[in-house]
Amino acid sequence: MQTISIRCPDSVLISLKETPEKFAKEATKVLAVKLYEMGKLSSGRAAEFAGISKISFLRSLGEYGTPIFDLTKEELERDQKNA
């Protein structure tokens, strides 16, 4: 496993009222959600990256306004026809 460091000004942590550890955990989860939303990671890999179970990850997507399924109009119409 690789460790990647980011710089975060103390003022940001103070504004958020977060400890560095809690901020790092939340930032990792936000990044996992965004990578999933962009289609760069599967839900399983994103959950692994976030350090939580896949079910917990999928349940948390709503907190970030990210849909579990992101079908195009054409995909949705095709699915409805095949139902």
At 30-74, the pLDDT tens digits run 999 999 999 899 999 999 999 999 999 999 998 998 888 766 777
Q: How far apart are CA 40 and CA 52, in angstroms?
A: 18
Q: What is the pLDDT of residue 49?
A: 96
Q: For residue 74, what are the CA distances in angstroms to 6, 31, 36, 37, 49? A: 40, 29, 21, 19, 31
Q: How far apart are CA 43 and CA 32, in angstroms?
A: 9
Average pLDDT in the 69-81 region? Answer: 71
Length of the chain: 83
CB 44 within 8 Å of CB 54 = yes
Q: Is the sign of the CA dihedral 59, 61, 66, 69 positive or negative?
A: negative
CB 14 within 8 Å of CB 35 = no
pTM reported for the whole predicted model = 0.79
